[in-house]
Structure 1
């Protein structure tokens, strides 16, 4: 059997899933329906906003299912009526067994890491934040545990020194597209041997949990190379941030940092100390040198290159990074 003979149900929500969906349809695979999140209110007017996957599915003329609850009998019945041979999940909710076990050949997921490393919601961010030099994409069969199903296929990819979460997201999104179609073809041909994620020493694994605000805070007492990786791994979203205060304690702000480099130095300054010529650069003391940001966004202001920011930040030397009141 060929991959294009299979009846495929595609499940996904964000932009990351869209190239794979488009590739399947444009290459002639039989996507019989798309399952995505319900429309949600967004923006100032709280108008209903549809997911990126729904937008693509409409453009491609595909049937769309948007269940509020995945165990809803009406949704399960609609899925059964599709008689799917294979399910594909990319950046979607956790599925109940009644859904993932329904397709004749099972359901596989695309994950943006080299499993079993970086299981969880934020594998791209966490890999860069941890200073990894390699990552990749993995397809694996869904089972009862999150990201622990049998591995089907992988593609490795280097993490370059100038990569951030945004650039790596784009690279892995397109690598994932190739891997998805390859996985479909190999499953259809019976040319795949799933590798169970068993007998793994869990202490050797790095997890990729969801990122919260406090995970993004910069600790200026860390080595500079680690701070640079922290910033890269969170840029452009949700962005690394730091407290910012006037030396006399009269003003407390936050600042997001989107790009930076490290200059090793034995400066003898307290961590968080600011140096600047007032025109071209700002640098911030860390454990073993200086962090030199290229783009900053002070709370309530636009994101700007440092040179532009300094045009209106004449008292920059009166500030230090890293201190906020306790009730921030």
Structure 2
């Protein structure tokens, strides 16, 4: 079966490799254009584009699927299109090209967390279970009928990045299995059912830690925005990046935002009990352990995170 693969970030690469490994004929890859990376802003292919080039697959780079891109997709003559985090909408004119349609791998249990940041939102919300589904792409936002499902436990220490990494590999297997079922005429699309929740793309502001919130909520947010856009707070108006924190229910006498050093651990008060900082990055400096940062402070007890 001839497959068009659409995807952009590193989490989509395992799916591309799984389809190749399963023997599908990936005739073209649709991905976002090269983007400037690093301090020197070097124009760099997307992870999917880079892997496709290594595999000798034709690459279509496009910010959006316009008339010209639609014509290139049609010229590739795919039987089905598989899409994993491409990062753009697919218009009806392109949806109609493959005879088996477009099959989307989405990293949530739809209709929960429809949108661009399902894993991040699940971690922030404190979900115990998440997963991935394959579904038939429609013009609506993640509304199509489901073809396959897998579940994954959210571990207490999971960052969004770690959880997404696991789902990218198990989801790749699910996607290959779904395409095999479609090719064999054994796929059975099922309408979504359950409570709908939305997962819009995270902004920088989503990473700000509110020390008036309970420690559990602060811990979930810090893990949910790691690695991107990253957790942060401020001291005297200066932004400081914060890596995921540890919960310290044994310390309950710190006011929200107030820091203290206890047995070489840097603690910060919240709306409930304290949290322990692990690594932080002051403005204009490199990431460092919280203990190293504390040694550079004249008086940690005078530090208040805002």
Aligned CA distance change for structure 1 residues 273 and 153 (closer, same or farther; 3 Å): same
Q: Tell me which residue corresponds to 1:195.
A: 190
Q: Tell me which residue corresponds to 1:254.
A: 239
Instruction: Count residues in correspondence.
Output: 305
Q: Tell me which residue corresponds to 1:225.
A: 216
Q: How far apart are residue 91 of structure 1 and its match?
A: 0.6
Please state if 1:182 is matched with 2:167: no
**C-alpha deviations, 1:142-187, integer Å up to 9, x for none?**
1110111111111100001111112101101101111110010011
Determine helix, strand or coil for the equivalent of 2:114. Answer: coil
Q: Tell me which residue corresponds to 1:138.
A: 133
Separation in structure 1 between the aligned mates of residue 239 and residue 210 of structure 2, nearest angstrom: 13
Q: Tell me which residue corresponds to 1:209.
A: 200
Aligned CA distance change for structure 1 residues 214 and 45 (closer, same or farther; 3 Å): closer
Q: Tell me which residue corresponds to 1:48.
A: 43
Q: Which deviates more, 37-46 or 91-100?
A: 37-46
Q: Which has the larger radius of gyration?
A: 1
- Structure 2: which 5+ runs fail to align? none
Please state if 1:82 is matched with 2:76: yes
Please state if 1:151 is matched with 2:160: no
Q: Aligned Cα RMSD in Å?
A: 1.8
Determine helix, strand or coil for the equivalent of 2:277. Answer: strand
- What does 1:1-328 correspond to in 2, within 5 Å? 6-72=1-67, 74-92=68-86, 93-197=88-192, 204-245=195-236, 252-264=237-249, 267-277=252-262, 280-322=264-306
Q: How far apart are residue 267 of structure 1 and its match?
A: 3.9
* Structure 2 length-normalised TM: 0.94
Q: Decide whether the 8 Å contact of 2:22 with 2:176 is kept in 1.
A: no
Q: How far apart are residue 228 of structure 1 and its match?
A: 1.0
Separation in structure 1 between the aligned mates of residue 226 and residue 41 of structure 2, nearest angstrom: 27
Separation in structure 1 between the aligned mates of residue 265 and residue 22 of structure 2, nearest angstrom: 50
Aligned CA distance change for structure 1 residues 166 and 319 (closer, same or farther; 3 Å): same
Determine helix, strand or coil for the equivalent of 2:218. Answer: helix
Determine helix, strand or coil for the equivalent of 1:321. Answer: coil
Separation in structure 1 between the aligned mates of residue 38 and residue 120 of structure 2, nearest angstrom: 26
- Structure 1: which 5+ runs fail to align? 1-5, 246-251, 323-328
